Amino acid sequence: MRLFILGLGYSARHFVRRFGDRFSHVAGTVRDPARRDDLAGLELHAFSGGRPDDATVDRISHADVLLTSIPPGSTGDPALAALGDVLAAAHRKIVYLSTIGVYGDHAGGWVDESTPPQSTLDRARMRVAAEQAWIDTAGGNVAILRLAGIYGPGRNALVTLRSGTARRIIKPGQVFNRIHVDDIASAIMAAIDQRGGGTWNVCDDEPAPPQDVITYAAQLMGTAPPDEEAFATAEMSAMARSFYSSSARVSNARLKRELGVTLAHPTYRHGLDALWRDGEAKLVP
């Protein structure tokens, strides 16, 4: 199988490290290949909107699997806008990385893939539109993976505590799901192996208040957690504050039942324990 990745972001790069040897060829896009020394060894193509060059189009045309994580903009999905004709012409497996943010606020109640998206955030509504656009373009061979809050090596509560940027924002009743990047990689591979398409939530077993994650990470490090801050009065950017506008408990039952995924890190504690054993908190001076 030949794999092409539209948008070599954090999750996609980790997927290649885990499962790249399952493919005969791997290539992908970044905004500026010359500035991505961390992706040495991968075939990189430039893409930042607009029609890519012929070599990129040719690689995409001949890929058996397309993994895309490029977020949509106000005018829609940039990859579909630039490559819709190419993507519609070939029969291939497509995996689109979306977000559980599409469900919106359910006051901490449980939701699953049958729950209609209802987010009031523009970026979440654009995600829903992009999901449908991929399905409309490529038919029934599109796997939509709705990801929870992503963490993993270099991107976790241990690192933010060590760097002094961790905060304990308290908003009563607020819960989030999370997902370790190892489990995202497993879900992507399972979706590729699955015949046909569908929509699956990729999240952990235990939605929890965000401050609990920071507190647990501090316990592992043997340090005091940062002071609590009330959400109502905390100084936050508009983007950061918007993440607290939705509270829901998201079910991963379909992921386990239909794709057969067994989570390596079913709760944030499992994930942080593993990162702590790997010396993650020592990575930031």
For residue 174, pLDDT beyond 60: yes
Whole-prediction pTM value? 0.95
**pLDDT value of residue 283:** 53
The tokens for 250 are 């998201």
- Percent of the chain at pLDDT exceeding 90: 84
d(C-alpha 222, C-alpha 227), whole Å: 15
Q: Is the pLDDT of residue 128 over 80?
A: yes
At 284 the pLDDT is: 45
pLDDT digits (tens, 9 = 90+) for 11-65: 999 999 999 999 999 999 999 888 887 887 889 999 988 888 999 999 999 999 9
Average predicted confidence (pLDDT) for the chain: 94
In tens, the pLDDT along 253-262 reads 999 999 999 9
The pLDDT score that the predictor gives to residue 285 is: 40
What is the rounded CA–CA span in Å between residue 195 and residue 91?
13
What local confidence, expressed as pLDDT, does residue 162 receive? 94
pLDDT at residue 171 tops 80: yes
CA 248 to chain centre: 17
Residue with tokens 């208040």: 209
